[in-house]
């Protein structure tokens, strides 16, 4: 009976027991000089097949090697089995693998036969084989694959019992031990599986630690690194600290490349110069400028900067190269939603529904489309389906919460946002949305707490800075409100000039100046909104009318208030202000009021401000009343100047 192969330790990979590696000579994988003659030789020739020429006893010159032995029967069968597995001929691999295992009873052969079962989706059969004998159970590779089978079967507790809740191979010097074959250490892979189990049990803290340990043990375990980064399980500062602690020597002479690639995937909230440096080196020294992962990192950076136009352009560039790249889809869908790309959303959702009907990303895309066309009930149904298919799909949970927020169902929205915050502790968005919901419910303290938590993660999001400004406006801290709005405008320099966030910021800054009685600065902000906005807003026009009323320019006040009521005839604020503006002009003759509308519209069209000599201020009781009204407006004693009514904050 053939001697069993040596089984790998936890510091080796499955390459250690791969027949392609074990039996490899220097020239085995070199293409023959005449491939057609060597591989496709005619029947009866000495090169009928190249498979059985892979003999240890043949040297480069065709002579017998003194230190090598010919391949045994089992070794040749292993090569046959392995090649069939690589070519996805599972029936062949199963047929030969079963015979090899019968000949050897080797745990490694049990592992490779179980790989055949696993690859063809027979997880229960693979697990049963791997656990069928005590010697199989002792093999690290067999235990790893058996646990993976249980994970595929969603038997989380059984899988955790098999590999343990903590790393049984942990030692102080564990990170210094290198494997001898260049693959991924099995110990690292088992830590990754442990993280998957904890994540599906909603134990995200333990999942994060397991993933981190997997990358610590072997930097080549990208699966664990990807789970940490894409799920935002670490804060941005934790990510950058983590990446400096990794042992890149495990990647041999690819250590610099791996470090640059990992750096490009980290949070773009700060250390942007390091990202730029890594991206530049990867483009120039490694010629990876068109690589989809580098483009994905650039898209993440642009999205964080709220530069949706350029982010969309990068996403479309990636999709033109690989239309089924799911990693880019969250950014792509979000940008289309922000920019109103309803047709493109419909097309992408339709394509995904045809090609991947059971994938959670498909139902996310459909939900975003329905949310964009304001069909909230349908959007909620599809977001819900996405969360059912993948309970840890944070983007779907955020979309699900948006549907409640759109209908004013604050409690349900807060619950969904809170779950997303648990899934994505390293991103600022869930806490931002939680703060916005509490602000709408007038829970100022809770709103400020969530917004401050979000600000600690990201201090460059214009929407977040705007919401913080609104909080301080409502708390009557006008100095800090002004500072946040100005900071938001600085952060918004890359936004479209007609972006809703940009317009909202100018309007809100104008409200701050209005309340601080800096009326001319308030008018500058309001006029900026009129210049960059393609549509007028009742709230804005009423605010301008109020400022002119405070300035004593009743004619212009009446003009803007008339325009506000032309858009929304039943607006109570504009109606109240117009009554006050008209009453303050009661010393004018009735014929003036009869023709006021036509005169106002003519003056507005010609941008001319004229004052009739008869309108000069006079010392009389009527003007004293007007002065009282103006003072009461300044002090916020009149209902029309209440912050909640005049200052309208728009949120995404």
Q: What is residue 377's predicted lDDT score, i.e. its pLDDT?
A: 95
Q: Rounded to whole angstroms, what are the CA distances from 122 to 108, 113, 115, 125, 289?
A: 19, 11, 10, 5, 40
Q: What is the mean pLDDT of residues 606-624?
A: 34
DSSP state of 307: -
Q: What is residue 491's predicted lDDT score, i.e. its pLDDT?
A: 81
Residue 503 has pLDDT above 70, yes or no: yes
Q: Rounded to whole angstroms, what are the CA distances from 83 to 54, 77, 237?
A: 13, 10, 46
Q: Give the range with max mean pLDDT: 21-35, 50-64, 552-566.
A: 552-566
Q: What is residue 39's predicted lDDT score, i.e. its pLDDT?
A: 33
Q: What is residue 23's predicted lDDT score, i.e. its pLDDT?
A: 58
DSSP H or E stretch at residue 99: helix 90-104
Residue 116 has pLDDT above 90, yes or no: yes
Question: pLDDT of 276-289, one tens digit each?
Answer: 999 999 999 999 99
Task: Indicate the domain borders of the chain.
Answer: 24-58, 345-419
Q: What is residue 495's predicted lDDT score, i.e. its pLDDT?
A: 60
Contacts of 24 (CB under 8 A, 6+ apart): none
| Calpha distance 647→512 (Å, rounded) | 9
Nearest to 106 by CA among 2, 10, 16: 2
Of the pLDDT bands very low, low, confident and very high (cuts 50, 70, 90), residue 176 is: low
Q: How far apart are the first and last CA of the chain?
A: 71
Q: What is residue 585's predicted lDDT score, i.e. its pLDDT?
A: 66
Top-confidence residue, 531 or 618: 531
Are 88 and 118 spatial neighbours (Cβ–Cβ below 8 Å)?
Answer: no
Q: Which of 428-442, 515-529, 614-628 has the lowest mean pLDDT?
A: 614-628
| Calpha distance 391→200 (Å, rounded) | 8
Mean pLDDT across the chain: 81
| Calpha distance 454→464 (Å, rounded) | 8
DSSP state of 185: -
| Calpha distance 167→163 (Å, rounded) | 8
Q: What is the mean pLDDT of residues 13-35?
A: 54
Top-confidence residue, 614 or 253: 253
Name the pTM for this structure. 0.76
Residue 308 has pLDDT above 70, yes or no: yes
Q: What is the mean pLDDT of residues 337-348?
A: 94
What stretches of 390-428 show up as alpha helix (H) in DSSP?
394-406, 410-423
Question: pLDDT of 403-413, one tens digit each?
Answer: 999 999 999 99
Q: What is residue 433's predicted lDDT score, i.e. its pLDDT?
A: 95
Q: What is the mean pLDDT of residues 499-510?
A: 80
Exposed / middle / buried, residue 302 (Cβ in 10 Å: 0-12, 13-18, 19+): buried
SS (H, E, C) 539-560: HHHHHHHHHHHHHCCHHHHHHH
Residue 594 has pLDDT above 80, yes or no: no
The SS3 call for residue 64 is: strand
Q: What is residue 318's predicted lDDT score, i.e. its pLDDT?
A: 96
**What does the block give as tokens for 434?**
């939680």
Report the C-alpha dihedral over residues 101, 104, 105, 109, rounded to 10 degrees.
-50
Q: What is residue 401's predicted lDDT score, i.e. its pLDDT?
A: 95
Of the pLDDT bands very low, low, confident and very high (cuts 50, 70, 90), residue 553 is: confident
Q: What is the mean pLDDT of residues 236-259?
A: 91
| Calpha distance 116→94 (Å, rounded) | 6
Top-confidence residue, 220 or 11: 220
**What does the block give as tokens for 607?**
């941008």
DSSP H or E stretch at residue 50: none
Backbone angles phi, psi at 595, to 5 degrees: -105, 10
Are 214 and 224 spatial neighbours (Cβ–Cβ below 8 Å)?
Answer: yes
Q: What is residue 182's predicted lDDT score, i.e. its pLDDT?
A: 78
Are 190 and 14 spatial neighbours (Cβ–Cβ below 8 Å)?
Answer: no
Q: What is residue 246's predicted lDDT score, i.e. its pLDDT?
A: 92
Residue 605 has pLDDT above 60, yes or no: no
Q: Rounded to whole angstroms, what are the CA distances from 10 to 7, 14, 225, 245?
A: 10, 10, 19, 21
Q: How much of the chain is in helix, strand and coil states, percent to nearest 5?
A: 70, 0, 30
Are 511 and 543 spatial neighbours (Cβ–Cβ below 8 Å)?
Answer: yes
Q: What is residue 501's predicted lDDT score, i.e. its pLDDT?
A: 65
Top-confidence residue, 622 or 310: 310
469-483 residues labelled b (16+ CB within 10 A) or e (exposed): bbbbbbeeebeebbb
Question: pLDDT of 358-388, one tens digit each?
Answer: 999 999 999 999 999 999 999 999 999 999 9
**What does the block give as tokens for 618?**
């006079």
Fold (CATH) for 345-419: 1.25.40
Nearest to 436 by CA among 448, 427, 420, 424: 448
Q: What is residue 180's predicted lDDT score, i.e. its pLDDT?
A: 67
**What does the block give as tokens for 364?**
């996310």
Percent of the chain scored above 70 by pLDDT?
77
Q: What is residue 68's predicted lDDT score, i.e. its pLDDT?
A: 56
Q: What is residue 599's predicted lDDT score, i.e. its pLDDT?
A: 41
Residue 573 has pLDDT above 70, yes or no: yes
Q: What is the mean pLDDT of residues 26-53?
A: 38
Q: What is residue 423's predicted lDDT score, i.e. its pLDDT?
A: 85
Are 371 and 399 spatial neighbours (Cβ–Cβ below 8 Å)?
Answer: yes
């Amino acid at each position: 009976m053939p001697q069993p192969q040596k089984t790998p330790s936890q510091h080796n990979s499955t390459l250690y027991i791969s027949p392609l590696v074990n039996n490899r000579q220097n020239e085995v994988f070199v293409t023959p000089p005449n491939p057609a003659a060597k591989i496709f030789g005619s029947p009866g020739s000495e090169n009928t097949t190249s498979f059985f020429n892979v003999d240890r006893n043949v040297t480069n010159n065709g002579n017998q090697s003194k230190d090598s032995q010919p391949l045994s029967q089992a070794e040749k069968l292993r090569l046959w089995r392995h090649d069939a597995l690589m070519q996805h001929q599972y029936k062949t691999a199963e047929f030969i693998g079963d015979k090899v295992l019968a000949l050897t009873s080797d745990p490694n052969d049990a592992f490779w036969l179980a790989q055949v079962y696993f690859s063809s989706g027979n997880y229960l059969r693979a697990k049963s084989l791997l656990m069928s004998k005590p010697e199989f159970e002792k093999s690290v590779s067999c235990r790893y694959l058996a646990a993976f089978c249980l994970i595929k079967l969603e038997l989380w507790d059984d899988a955790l019992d098999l590999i343990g809740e903590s790393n049984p191979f942990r030692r102080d010097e564990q990170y210094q031990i290198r494997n001898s074959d260049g693959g991924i250490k099995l110990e690292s892979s088992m830590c990754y599986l442990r993280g998957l189990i904890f994540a599906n049990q909603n134990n995200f803290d333990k999942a994060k630690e397991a993933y981190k340990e997997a990358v610590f043990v072997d930097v080549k375990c990208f699966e664990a690194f990807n789970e940490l980064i894409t799920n935002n399980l670490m804060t941005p500062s934790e990510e950058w600290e983590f990446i400096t602690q990794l042992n890149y020597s495990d990647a041999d002479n690819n250590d610099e490349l791996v470090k640059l690639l990992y750096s490009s995937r980290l949070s773009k909230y700060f250390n942007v110069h390091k990202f730029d440096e890594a991206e530049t080196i990867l483009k120039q020294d490694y010629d990876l400028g068109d690589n989809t992962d580098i483009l994905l990192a650039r898209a993440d950076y642009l999205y964080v900067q709220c530069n949706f136009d350029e982010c969309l352009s990068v996403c479309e560039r990636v999709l033109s190269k690989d239309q089924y790249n799911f990693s880019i889809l969250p950014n792509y869908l979000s940008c289309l939603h922000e920019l109103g790309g309803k047709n493109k959303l419909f097309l992408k959702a339709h394509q995904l529904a045809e090609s991947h009907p059971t994938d959670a990303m498909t139902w996310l895309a459909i939900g975003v489309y329905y949310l964009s066309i304001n069909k909230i009930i349908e959007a909620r149904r599809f977001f819900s389906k996405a969360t059912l298919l993948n309970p840890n799909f944070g983007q779907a949970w955020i979309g699900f919460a948006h549907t409640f927020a759109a209908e004013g169902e604050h409690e349900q929205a807060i619950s969904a946002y809170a779950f997303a915050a648990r899934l994505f502790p390293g991103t600022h968005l869930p806490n931002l949305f939680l703060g916005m919901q509490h602000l709408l419910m007038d829970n100022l303290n809770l709103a400020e707490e969530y917004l401050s938590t979000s600000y600690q993660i990201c201090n460059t999001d214009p929407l977040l800075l705007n919401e913080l400004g609104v909080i301080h406006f409502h708390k009557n801290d006008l100095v800090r409100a002004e500072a946040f709005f100005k900071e938001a405008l600085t952060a918004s320099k890359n936004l479209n000039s007609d972006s809703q966030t940009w317009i909202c910021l100018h309007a809100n800054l104008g409200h701050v100046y209005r309340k601080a009685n800096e009326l001319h600065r308030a008018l500058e902000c309001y006029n900026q909104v009129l210049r960059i906005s393609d549509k007028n807003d009742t709230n804005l026009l009423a605010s301008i009318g109020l400022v002119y009323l405070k300035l004593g320019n009743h004619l212009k006040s009446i003009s803007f208030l008339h325009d506000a009521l032309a858009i929304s005839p039943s607006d109570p604020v504009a109606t109240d202000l117009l009554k006050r503006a008209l009453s303050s002009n009661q010393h004018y003759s009735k014929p003036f009021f009869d023709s006021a509308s036509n005169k106002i519209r003519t003056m507005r069209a010609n941008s001319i401000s004229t004052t009739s000599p008869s309108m000069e201020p006079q010392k009389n009781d009527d003007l004293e009343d007007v002065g009282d009204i103006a003072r009461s407006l300044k002090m916020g004693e009149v209902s029309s100047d209440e912050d909640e009514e005049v200052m309208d904050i728009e949120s995404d």
